[in-house]
Amino acid sequence: MITIETSLVQDRLVELIQLQVLYNRLYALQQRKGDLPQQIEDLQDRSVALYRSIQEIEAHIHQLEGDIRTLHVSNDNLRDHEHKLQKTLMSVRNEQEYYKVESDLKETRLTIEKNLKDISRLQHRVEAFRQRHAEEQARLNEIQALIIEKEKLLAEISERTRRQEEALEKRIQALSEHIQREDSRLFRLFDRRRRSLREGRALVSVELLEGREDRVACGGCYTLLPRQLQWELTQRNRIYVCENCGRFLVDAAFFEEVAASMP
């Protein structure tokens, strides 16, 4: 088993247990916020993406409406031209001229027809874009309302827990400084472990296994450890560390005893 050398082992163990209990309380408080911060962040990402998409749709609509206006102007000019040609047709002097004017007239009418078809096609596209615009805008409004709702909830929870968190952080700070003064190496080992582990559980108690007389388990990673360790931990004269996960190990009764004595 890996042990850590220090003086006044029992005092240090009590302090490390106290520090862990404070961290456990702080973590439990932070858990009350659940995944709300993450949910809000995800919704904000979706809202930004939707906003961009809506802006792109607006740019498309703007472009298409410009094209439609151009076609209308073009048709107005073509209709003027058509009227002039119709008048000219009345006063042609020969067949050749008649044929020329008539073919121009035909060409002009075909172009007007083609433009009208283009206008109708473009208007359909504008309608489709407007439909998508309305749908995405509605979804964006929904998401933004949801963000406001969740932010309000998070603010309420934060407000309720803020004072408790601050009080815990102060106690953690004071206790950390004390341990650091007593044994800075021990504190560094503990703190490094805490920072690297999920939920910051750098110190755990060993767990008894049903039906296993010869083994106990690390309460952090559940690696099996010799039963002898259980007895050694009750002696409280050495600091043991799990060989697998590096967590500090104490016996469960000791942990409970210290936790129960804390305000």
Does residue 206 interact with Zn ion by CB under 5 A? no
Candidates 221, 230, 236, 252: give the one binding Zn ion (CB under 5 A): 221
Q: Which backbone phi and psi does 240 adopt, to 5 degrees? A: -105, 145
Q: Could you tell me the smallest distance in angstroms from the CB atom of residue 244 to Zn ion?
A: 5
Give the residue with the Cβ less far from Zn ion, 239 or 242: 242
Give the residue with the Cβ less far from Zn ion, 133 or 247: 247
Give the residue with the Cβ less far from Zn ion, 28 or 224: 224
Q: Could you tell me the smallest distance in angstroms from the CB atom of residue 218 to Zn ion?
A: 3
Q: Are strands 248-250 and 203-208 parallel, antiparallel or unpaired?
A: parallel
Cα–Cα distance for residue pair 9/13, rounded to 1 Å? 6
Candidates 71, 220, 241, 248: give the one binding Zn ion (CB under 5 A): 220
Please name which of 3, 47, 4 lies closest in space to residue 186, comparing C-alpha atoms: 4
Contact 157, 32 (CB under 8 A): yes
Candidates 61, 242, 250, 258: give the one binding Zn ion (CB under 5 A): 242
Q: Could you tell me the smallest distance in angstroms from the CB atom of residue 260 to Zn ion?
A: 24
Cα–Cα distance for residue pair 255/232, rounded to 1 Å? 15
- Position of tokens 């309305």? 134
Give the residue with the Cβ less far from Zn ion, 88 or 223: 223
Does residue 245 interact with Zn ion by CB under 5 A? yes
# residues near Zn ion by CB under 5 A? 8
Please name which of 79, 73, 57 lies closest in space to residue 118, comparing C-alpha atoms: 73
Tell me which stretch binds Zn ion (CB under 5 A): 11-19, 64-72, 99-107, 241-249.
Answer: 241-249
Task: List Cβ neighbours of 22 (8 Å cut-off, separation of 6 or more).
Answer: 168, 171, 172, 175, 262
Give the DSSP letter string of 122-170.
HHHHHHHHHHHHHHHHHHHHHHHHHHHHHHHHHHHHHHHHHHHHHHHHH
Q: Could you tell me the smallest distance in angstroms from the CB atom of residue 133 to Zn ion?
A: 56
Give the residue with the Cβ less far from Zn ion, 168 or 189: 189
- Position of tokens 């700070």? 173
Q: Could you tell me the smallest distance in angstroms from the CB atom of residue 219 to Zn ion?
A: 8
Does residue 244 interact with Zn ion by CB under 5 A? yes
Q: Point out which residues bind Zn ion (CB under 5 A).
A: 218, 220-221, 223, 242, 244-245, 247
